[in-house]
Each structure stands twice: as C-alpha cells, then as structure tokens.
C-alpha cells in the first residue's frame, strides 16, 4: 500500500482511538497485496486481574476487527534485559512484507521506570530508548508505533509520576524526530502532524 510509512508514530490520549487507527492501518496493509503479514507486538503485562481481563478483551475484539493480525507478547521477562525484548522482537520479525505494530510504547516505558513489585526500575532508560531507535532505523519493513500523549493535562502530583511524564515526553519527541509520519488521534479523528499523504 503506497500510504504506508516506513515508520509511523501514532499518539493520543486514553481512548482516543489510536489503537483502533493502527489496526485499521494493519488491515489496509494486509488487503494491499497478497503474501503480506501483520504482527502486533503487545507490551502489556497482566499485573492484576483487571489488567488480565482488559488484555483478554482487547485480544478478542482485535481478532474480530482484524482477523489476519497476529499477536506476540513482548517485555514479559523479569530480568534487567526486559526492555531490550521489544528491540529483539522487532529485529527478529521485521521483513519487507511484514507490518509490525507496537502497542504500546507507554506501557513499555512504564514497566521500565515503574515496574511491578519485586523488580528494580531500569537504571538507564536513555540507553534502552537509543537501542530501540537504532533498531527501528535498520528494519527492512514498515512499523507502526502506538503511544500515549499525556503531556496535555494537569501536572501530576508526586516526583515519580512527574519523572515518568517527562521521560515519556522525551521518548515521544525522540521517536517523532525519526518517524516518517506522526499522527495524533483526537476523539477518534486522525490529525497528521508530520509526513504527507
């Protein structure tokens, strides 16, 4: 499909339609030519019962909307290398006829900086982000990155959350600078921020 960017960043607030938009892009990719493949790299970790139910609901709904979209969970490891699992999966799965969809970068970063109990926060998130950027630049196939734009709201209370918001803003800026296209989702409507049609 001619409209598929090599690297697209899709940002938006909670329930803005960013995942649905990325799924529509994947569906268009699959319909564009025979022999194409689309794979979602899911970064959510089921830390509690509500999150497990949420993940299961998303998997079920996604299978109904985009039957050809495969899913692989990444970042589920417990060791210090868990942040690099996403880059390794991208390297392993990327191919010219494969569209990779990462959903979502915010959860990926959250698990690094505010991990589940018993795990230490990542000491050097900057190195993990740089590693991800180098990986993305070398991939042979297209990639859609989904993440939250949370810098438009109230400044959060607490140093840990303020630090996370700052890190996420830096991650979004770093990836947007490297992306061929950036789309901002607002109330289900895509707004092109960078890159032409």
Which residues are known catalytic residues? 58
What six digits make up the tokens of 100? 């990779």
Question: In 3-state terms, what secondary structure has residue 176?
Answer: helix
Say if residue 118 carries a ligand binding annotation.
Answer: no
Nearest to 39 by CA among 76, 72, 74, 64: 72
Say if residue 103 carries a ligand binding annotation.
Answer: yes
Task: State the Rg of the chain over Cα.
Answer: 16
Say if residue 27 carries a ligand binding annotation.
Answer: no
Say if residue 125 carries a ligand binding annotation.
Answer: no
Say if residue 98 carries a ligand binding annotation.
Answer: no
Say if residue 163 carries a ligand binding annotation.
Answer: no
Say if residue 3 carries a ligand binding annotation.
Answer: no
DSSP β-bridge partners for residue 40: 71, 101
Instruction: Round to whole Å and give the CA distance between 191 and 59.
Output: 26
Nearest to 10 by CA among 197, 196, 179, 168: 179
Give yes or no for a contact between 179 and 190, defined as CB atoms under 8 angstroms apart. no
Instruction: Round to whole Å and give the CA distance between 78 and 116.
Output: 10
Say if residue 13 carries a ligand binding annotation.
Answer: yes
Instruction: Round to whole Å and give the CA distance between 54 and 56.
Output: 5
Say if residue 94 carries a ligand binding annotation.
Answer: no
CA 24, 197, 151, 138 torsion-angle sign: positive
Annotated binding residues, written as ranges, equal 12-19, 42-44, 103
Annotated binding residues for GTP, written as ranges, equal 12-19, 42-44, 103
């Amino acid at each position: 499909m001619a409209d598929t960017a090599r690297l697209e960043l899709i940002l938006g607030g909670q329930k803005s339609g960013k995942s649905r938009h990325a799924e529509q892009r994947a569906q268009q990719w699959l319909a564009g030519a025979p022999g194409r493949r689309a794979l979602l790299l899911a970064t959510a970790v089921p830390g509690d019962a509500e999150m497990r139910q949420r993940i299961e609901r998303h998997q079920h709904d996604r299978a109904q909307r985009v039957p050809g979209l495969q899913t692989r969970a990444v970042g589920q490891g417990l060791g210090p290398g868990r942040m690099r699992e996403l880059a390794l999966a991208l390297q392993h799965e990327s191919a010219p006829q494969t569209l990779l969809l990462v959903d979502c970068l915010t959860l990926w970063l959250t698990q690094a900086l505010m991990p589940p109990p018993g795990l230490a926060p990542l000491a050097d998130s900057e190195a993990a982000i740089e590693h991800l950027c180098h990986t993305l630049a070398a991939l042979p196939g297209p990639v859609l990155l989904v993440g939250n734009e949370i810098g438009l709201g109230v400044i959060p209370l607490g140093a840990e959350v303020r630090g996370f918001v700052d890190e996420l803003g830096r991650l979004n800026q770093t990836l947007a600078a490297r992306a061929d296209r950036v789309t901002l989702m607002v109330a289900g409507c895509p707004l092109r921020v960078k890159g032409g049609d």
